[in-house]
């Protein structure tokens, strides 16, 4: 992915959507972890407030979007603008093994965590061996 | 598709919509240059074993200098801020929850580990009155300027 140690946001282009807001859209950096009974999607979305984050699950696609207000520049002179400020958006394909109705999300300190529980049929099962 | 996006209908408006992208372009170029010259091995070398360098925003207002840093996933107690006369040091630690071996990672893009940055300030600041807040992953440090360093308006007299 990115080879340098800087904390960096990458831009995204979603040509199929006509946006009504101008400005850059960024692709949040994510960790995706598989646990025994769930998948975890952890995304960095600094600057977004909890109510500006939208998580949608539709036709096997999980979309997370966050609206971030632009920089306020009134009465300020910018001396350094090293990072871009803009909305976040990213889409993932999710397998059918996920129980969409039970997806939960939490947000703390700029990090969005999605819990995607697996369907019962997809969870690992131990099969007891009976002695005959 | 023959639809014309609403914002392109009026040429003035279309121009306005473009302006932020020009500004962004300039910022991007600045960033590219400063990154190239500030990294020990240029683009190719610097790897993840180095300490992270968070990106900052530095703004100058009439009475204060405002520094913003994006550090998602950091606990406020893990951020260390030090101010000297005209230098600001920010140090911190992003929780390494990834060490947990039992987990099975498909993506591991998020940066983890310790970070630090020293930022030269454009003027002397009042170190006793520095205020720092952390909200939604963005750290904001407000550094009030020393009274002497606030610019004074000089009226021009008719001679």
Same domain, B136 and B89: yes
Specify the pairing of strand A38-44 against strand A53-58: unpaired
Same domain, B85 and B117: yes
Q: How many domains does chain B have?
A: 2
Same domain, B61 and B13: no
Contact B56 A34 (CB under 8 A): no
Q: Which CATH architecture has domain A22-70+83-120?
A: Sandwich (2.60)
Establish if B156 belongs to a structural domain: no
Q: Does A4 touch chain B (CB under 8 A)?
A: yes
Residues B93, B95, B101, B105: is their CA dihedral positive or negative? negative
**Residues 75 through 134 of chain B touching chain A, CB cutoff 8 Å:** 75-76, 98, 103-111, 115, 119, 122, 134
Burial of B120 (0-12, 13-18, 19+ CB in 10 A): exposed
Q: How many CB atoms lie within 10 A of CB B90?
A: 22
Q: Tens of pLDDT along A78-107? A: 888 888 888 899 998 888 888 888 899 999
Q: Does A122 touch chain B (CB under 8 A)?
A: no
**Structural domain of B95:** 52-149
Burial of B109 (0-12, 13-18, 19+ CB in 10 A): middle
Chain A contacts of B118, Cβ < 8 Å?
none
Structure ipTM over 0.90, yes or no = no
Domain edges within chain A = 22-70+83-120
Contact A41, A107 (CB under 8 A): no
Helices then strands, each counted (H, E), chain A: 0, 10
Of A59, A68, A112, which Cα lies nearest the Cα of A88? A68
Read off the pLDDT band of A37 (50, 70, 90): confident
Same domain, B38 and B74: no
Q: How many CB atoms lie within 10 A of CB B68?
A: 22
From residue A109, give the alpha-carbon distance in Å to each of A67, B77, B116: 16, 12, 18
Sheet with B131-135: list strands edge to edge.
Answer: A77-81, B56-60, B64-70, B138-144, B131-135
Establish if B128 belongs to a structural domain: yes
Q: Tens of pLDDT along B87-114? A: 899 988 887 666 565 668 888 888 788 8
Q: Which pTM value belongs to this model?
A: 0.69
Read off the pLDDT band of A43 (50, 70, 90): very high
How distant is the Cα of B49 from the closest Cα of chain A, in angstroms? 8
Sheet with B87-94: list strands edge to edge.
Answer: B79-84, B87-94, B113-120
Partnered with residue A11 across adjacent β-strands are: A26
């Amino acid at each position: 992915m990115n080879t340098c140690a800087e904390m960096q946001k990458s831009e995204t282009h979603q040509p199929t959507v006509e946006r009504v807001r101008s400005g850059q859209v960024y692709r949040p950096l994510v960790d995706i972890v598989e646990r025994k009974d769930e998948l975890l999607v952890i995304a960095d979305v600094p600057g977004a407030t909890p109510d500006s984050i939208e998580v949608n699950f539709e036709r096997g696609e999980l979309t997370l979007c966050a609206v971030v207000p632009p920089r306020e520049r009134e009465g300020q002179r910018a001396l350094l603008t090293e990072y871009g400020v803009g909305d976040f958006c990213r889409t993932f394909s999710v397998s059918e093994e996920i129980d969409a109705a039970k997806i939960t999300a939490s947000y703390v300190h700029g990090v969005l965590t999605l819990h995607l529980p697996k369907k019962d049929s997809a969870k690992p099962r131990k099969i007891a061996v009976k002695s005959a | 598709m023959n639809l014309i996006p609403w914002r392109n209908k009026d040429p003035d408006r279309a121009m306005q919509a473009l302006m932020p992208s020009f500004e962004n372009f300039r910022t991007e170029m600045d960033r590219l240059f400063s990154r190239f010259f500030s990294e020990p091995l240029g683009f190719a070398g610097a790897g993840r074993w180095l300490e992270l360098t968070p990106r900052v925003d530095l703004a100058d207002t009439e009475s204060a200098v405002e520094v913003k840093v994006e550090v998602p996933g950091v606990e406020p107690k893990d951020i260390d801020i030090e101010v000297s006369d005209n230098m600001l040091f920010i140090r911190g630690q992003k929780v390494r929850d990834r060490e947990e071996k039992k987990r099975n990672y498909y993506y591991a893009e998020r940066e983890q580990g310790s970070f630090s940055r020293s930022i030269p300030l454009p003027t002397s600041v009042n170190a006793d009155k520095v205020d720092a807040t952390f909200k939604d992953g963005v750290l904001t440090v407000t550094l009030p300027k020393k009274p002497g360093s606030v610019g004074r308006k000089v009226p021009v007299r008719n001679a």
